[in-house]
A and B are shown apart, each in its own frame.
Chain A
Amino acid sequence: MRPGVGQARPLATSMQVQPGSNEPAIEEGRKQMRKTLFGMDLAANRREFLKGTVGAGILLVGLSAARAQTEQGGTPVTGGHLKLGLDGGSTTDTLDPAGYISAFAFVLARSFGDHLVESDPVTGKPVPSIAESWESSDNAKTWTFKIRNDVEFHNGKKLTVDDVVKTLQRHSDEKSRSGALGFLKAIASIEGHGNELVVKLSESNVDLPLIFTAYHLVIQPNGGYDNPSEGIGTGPYKLVNFEPGVRALFEKNKNDWRERGHVDSFEIIVMNDATARTAAITAGKVHFVNSIGAKTVPLLKRVAGLQILDTPSRGHFTMPMQVDKAPFDNADLRLALKYAVDREAILKTALGGYGTIGNDFPINATYPYFPADIEQRAYDPDKAAFHFKKSGHDGPVVLRTADGIFSGAVDTALLFQESAKKAGIKVDVKREPADGYWTNVWRATPFCLSYYGSRLTQDLMYATEHLSDSPANETNFNRPDFDKIIKEARSEADDAKRAELYHAAAVMVRDEGGSIIPVFNNYLNAAGKRLKGYIHDVGNDMSNGYIASRVWLEA
């Protein structure tokens, strides 16, 4: 079972993502956005990486992890104390995995806890962890996971199948406040048989192992029913001290059930101020900081020895047009606006070039089954003007945005206004307060700025953004034929057929849906020169949360 993510350390080191790519622009770190970014999230499998700009150059990575060995490689060094300065922690943070919502909690969960399944950092495929193997039957409706019997919690208690069952039950309970509840709705029953976990679903889902990589699903003693916030897990590091909104201290778990983790101890210091993070990493007071602004990257590059860690992400900006509300119930008007977006300009200005161009469907090359052959929609004022005229719409279009819902939200709206003007379309940009934006503006008005973070699979991304019954279906897209395609893909075990279905879904959303998706942002982090072994994980930011157990400090 060695290909486990946690121990992939000597393998893929850097995915060879260069300068000139992109980053997650979420630095303003509002609670809402943290929720979006990390609330659902993560992994999937991917071979190709969209590189550079127009989604043209495709870089084959990952075929073999060994190949990805790069400048960050070398022989791991054991020992030392690692310091991470992270944005996103808050005094309102909890140790209960059900309530995790921040970058801070994400790294915390991945360090002290283990999950049933992990995902490969390069391919995104599910790999064993607490579950050493699994199989499905009944058309992916019944799943059997074999649970390891040599795993011990930090309190010395042995991990049993019952702990796993209880964990899943607690998160999937209807009344649960768990951030993972949304993915677990199809679970009909959870049972333990000997050393096996049997999960029955109400509908087929071939992605179930990947769903179990969700970072909320930390396996806890008795599933966390006794004390969800005790911070006891089976992970590579033990939680020694936790002060919400301040810091968390960890030490190596000497009784770890597998070999992983290089540093003896590490701490996460909450640093919500971008300048404080920059100062700390520049002065060498921490080894790693997350979420650096695209605009500071050129300055940081001048600092000797500083590494900029730039990783493609699944997060994307959207401008949802509600397809059932006038004037956006007019397909020509929607098309006109899609052609009126200058994606290059948004990438350059709002993201400083650290991202990739979107094609009006919510999937990029970091997801498996990415339909790479769909033609890239480009800025075309003539076509925009043509469709605008054909739509018969008269007068301005109102676009709502707010400063601080995510970084780049206002820039994007203004750039759109500018590029639409050249096509003869007048866009009124209306600024709303960021407070309450997700309740009062998003989904409540027909055209606004919005953002989606990383999801574990294509299925979950579409299920969130475009399925007719999703509460986050921001365009009110309601197409039974689309819903059917997504459900079919969910139960399709054949890779080729599945890819076909996702291709059809993407085309439908791109051409008939209400989403304008101009750009995907990159994760932008920085590390000091001593930090080595950072793995650019396709799953999510900060090496999919596993940063602390994957990196080492060179003397």
Chain B
Amino acid sequence: MSAQEETVSGQPGNQMSAARRGAPAPAAGRAARSKNSLGYLIARRMALGIALLFAASMLIFGGVEALPGDFATTYLGQEATPQAVANIREELGLDRPMTERYLSWLGGILQGDFGTSWSNHNSVGEQIWKRLSDSLLLAGVSALISIPLAIGLGMIAVLYRNRIPDKVISILSLAAISLPEFFIGYLLIQFFTVQLGISEFPATVYDGMSLGERLSAIVLPVATLVTVVLAHMMRMTRSAILNVMSSAYVETAELKGLSALRIIAEHAAPNAVAPVVTVIALNLAALVVGVVVVEVVFVYPGIGQYMVDAVTVRDMPVVQGCGLLFAAIYIVLNMVADIVSILANPRLRHPR
């Protein structure tokens, strides 16, 4: 995120290429260079990421602990007799102190063992993997469609700035961004499934389905997700490029007589990469972990649904495993965004 701000705010009135301005003065010496080398930066980010993961796991654990009722009482619900509750607590070791339980879970994770679900004794790691691959299919297809579309539309909007195509794109994307995703989902179902009867519903995928069948099953959820994330990314692309376009070196390029397309593609776009990549990364993360609502609406068995079910009964190993995974996805995607931003804009290697 910091990358984005700096790029955007660092521009005005700067005629030099960003790279040159950012190059260290020779006097700064070797030390600064090694300290600011890409490898060092990445290593530092990764260390930070791991620390963050650790903190996230503690937060999740504490959060679920703080909810009223533990697994034994929520699982048994209205039939929670003292004896039954005690049986389950003893079986699962819930009577041990909180820190001890946390540490033993952490010990397992460090050895790659996510444990087993308390409610159905299935391996959490296996289930997560299966659910995650389903979620990734949905997210991946949505990303494949939405990213090029968003960037393309963003560029078209810039090209026809303040003319009709730009306005149409703006209005449509604003409309899409204003509608809640479940509502878009319901609209699509109502139109394509109930009225026209041309699309599959529910979007449930399961073992033994071919890729083709899966793809046809997920058309509607993908369309929903694309609609939701497209607008955000498109608008960011548009504003980032516009920002760059208003800078002096673009003006110079224009004065040199370059075509509009070339100016955008060669001069403006590379400098607009950082903010765009950041917003793409955030949207990708949202696609993977934040689609619970879409999963529910379309009856899609993704990882979000898995975690929500587990939270309902306080199935701690599952909640912890999913939480950790979500945190990891966010952290990794943000890290990638930062690194790409740094690669695109070497000035960022030298934080002031």
Do the two shown chains form a genuine complex with each other?
yes
Q: Which residues on A are within 8 Å of B, measured CB to CB?
A: 30-36, 39-40, 85, 90-94, 96, 99, 175, 177, 179, 182, 229, 241, 243-247, 249, 269-273, 275-276, 279-280, 282-285, 433, 435-436, 438-440, 442, 450-451, 471-472
Q: Does B236 contact A (CB under 8 A)?
A: no
Complex interface: stretch among B81-89, B250-258, B343-351: B81-89
Instruction: A168 to B305: give the CA distance in the assembly, Å.
Output: 35
The residue on B at minimum CB distance from A83 is: B202
Query: Is there contact, CB below 8 Å, between B194 and A35?
Result: no
Given A91-B309, A436-B69, A273-B201 contact (CB < 8 Å): no
Instruction: With both chains docked as a complex, state the minimum distance between the C-beta of B107 and any C-beta of chain A, in angstroms.
Output: 24
B residues 189-210 in Cβ contact with A at 8 Å: 189-190, 193-194, 197, 200-202, 204, 206-208
Q: Which residues of B contact A471 (CB under 8 A)?
A: 79-82
Q: Kindly identify which residue among B75, B87, B298 contacts A276, using a CB–CB cutoff of 8 Å.
A: B298
Q: Which residues of B contact A36 (CB under 8 A)?
A: 77-79
Instruction: A175 to B83: give the CA distance in the assembly, Å.
Output: 10
Q: Kindly identify which residue among A40, A243, A245, A279 contacts B189, using a CB–CB cutoff of 8 Å.
A: A279
Query: Is there contact, CB below 8 Å, between A92 and B193?
Result: no
Instruction: With both chains docked as a complex, state the minimum distance between the C-beta of B217 and any C-beta of chain A, in angstroms.
Output: 11
Query: Is there contact, CB below 8 Å, between B193 and A279?
Result: yes
Instruction: A96 to B120: give the CA distance in the assembly, Å.
Output: 8
Q: Which residues on B are within 8 Å of A, measured CB to CB?
A: 67-69, 73-82, 84, 87-88, 117, 119-122, 127, 131, 186, 189-190, 193-194, 197, 200-202, 204, 206-208, 296-299, 301, 305-306, 309-310, 312-313, 315, 318
Query: Is there contact, CB below 8 Å, between B202 and A92?
Result: no
Instruction: With both chains docked as a complex, state the minimum distance between the C-beta of A440 and any C-beta of chain B, in angstroms.
Output: 5
Q: Which residues of A contact B201 (CB under 8 A)?
A: 279-280, 283, 285
Given A247-B206, A436-B74, A439-B68, A93-B189 contact (CB < 8 Å): no
Query: Is there contact, CB below 8 Å, between A246 and B79?
Result: no
Query: Is there contact, CB below 8 Å, between A247 and B77?
Result: no
Q: Which residues of A contact B119 (CB under 8 A)?
A: 92-94, 99
Query: Is there contact, CB below 8 Å, between B312 and A31?
Result: yes
Query: Is there contact, CB below 8 Å, between B202 and A271?
Result: yes
Q: Which residues of A contact B84 (CB under 8 A)?
A: 177
Q: Which residues of B contact A182 (CB under 8 A)?
A: 79
User: Can you list 19 contacts pairing A with B, beta carbon distance less than 8 Å?
Assistant: A32-B78, A85-B299, A91-B301, A91-B306, A92-B117, A92-B312, A93-B119, A94-B119, A99-B120, A243-B206, A245-B309, A273-B299, A276-B189, A279-B193, A283-B197, A284-B197, A436-B67, A439-B68, A472-B78
Instruction: With both chains docked as a complex, state the minimum distance between the C-beta of A247 and any C-beta of chain B, in angstroms.
Output: 6
Query: Is there contact, CB below 8 Å, between A31 and B87?
Result: no
Given A36-B79, A273-B297, A440-B312 contact (CB < 8 Å): no
Query: Is there contact, CB below 8 Å, between B186 and A245?
Result: no
Ranked 5 nearest A-B pairs via Cβ: A436-B68, A32-B77, A436-B69, A92-B119, A94-B120
Instruction: A96 to B315: give the CA distance in the assembly, Å.
Output: 17
A-B contact count (CB 8 A): 152
The residue on B at minimum CB distance from A175 is: B87
The residue on A at minimum CB distance from B194 is: A283
Given A436-B67, A439-B73, A280-B202 contact (CB < 8 Å): yes
Q: Which residues of A contact B80 (CB under 8 A)?
A: 438-439, 471
Instruction: With both chains docked as a complex, state the minimum distance between the C-beta of A404 and any C-beta of chain B, in angstroms.
Output: 11
Q: Which residues of B contact A450 (CB under 8 A)?
A: 78
Given A282-B194, A439-B80, A440-B69, A275-B74 contact (CB < 8 Å): no
Query: Is there contact, CB below 8 Å, between B305 and A91?
Result: yes
Query: Is there contact, CB below 8 Å, between B68 and A433?
Result: yes
Q: Which residues of B contact A33 (CB under 8 A)?
A: 77-78
Query: Is there contact, CB below 8 Å, between A245 and B301?
Result: yes
Query: Is there contact, CB below 8 Å, between A85 and B87?
Result: no
Query: Is there contact, CB below 8 Å, between B186 and A275?
Result: yes
Query: Is there contact, CB below 8 Å, between B296 and A31?
Result: no
Instruction: With both chains docked as a complex, state the minimum distance between the C-beta of A439 and any C-beta of chain B, in angstroms.
Output: 4
Q: Which residues of A contact B74 (CB under 8 A)?
A: 31-32, 435-436, 438-439
Instruction: A153 to B296: give the CA distance in the assembly, Å.
Output: 36
The residue on B at minimum CB distance from A272 is: B296
Instruction: A269 to B204: give the CA distance in the assembly, Å.
Output: 8
Instruction: A273 to B294: give the CA distance in the assembly, Å.
Output: 11
Q: Which residues of A contact B305 (CB under 8 A)?
A: 91, 245
Instruction: A94 to B204: give the CA distance in the assembly, Å.
Output: 19
Instruction: A32 to B310: give the CA distance in the assembly, Å.
Output: 13
Query: Is there contact, CB below 8 Å, between B207 and A241?
Result: yes
The residue on B at minimum CB distance from A89 is: B309
Q: Kindly identify which residue among B197, B299, B312, B318 contacts A269, using a CB–CB cutoff of 8 Å.
A: B299
Instruction: A279 to B80: give the CA distance in the assembly, Å.
Output: 36
Q: Which residues of B contact A40 (CB under 8 A)?
A: 79
Given A273-B299, A433-B68, A436-B74, A472-B309 contact (CB < 8 Å): no
Instruction: A273 to B193: give the CA distance in the assembly, Å.
Output: 16
Query: Is there contact, CB below 8 Å, between A31 and B313?
Result: yes
Instruction: With both chains docked as a complex, state the minimum distance between the C-beta of A170 and any C-beta of chain B, in angstroms.
Output: 15
Most buried by B among A229, A244, A272: A244
Instruction: A433 to B74: give the CA distance in the assembly, Å.
Output: 13
Query: Is there contact, CB below 8 Å, between B77 and A438?
Result: yes
Q: Which residues of A contact B204 (CB under 8 A)?
A: 246-247, 269-270
Instruction: A272 to B299: give the CA distance in the assembly, Å.
Output: 8
Query: Is there contact, CB below 8 Å, between B309 and A276?
Result: no
Q: Which residues of A contact B318 (CB under 8 A)?
A: 91-92
Q: Which residues of A contact B68 (CB under 8 A)?
A: 433, 435-436, 439-440
Instruction: A177 to B305: give the CA distance in the assembly, Å.
Output: 26
Query: Is there contact, CB below 8 Å, between B202 and A285?
Result: yes
Instruction: With both chains docked as a complex, state the minimum distance between the C-beta of A426 and any C-beta of chain B, in angstroms.
Output: 28
Query: Is there contact, CB below 8 Å, between A439 and B194?
Result: no
Given A31-B312, A471-B82, A177-B88 contact (CB < 8 Å): yes
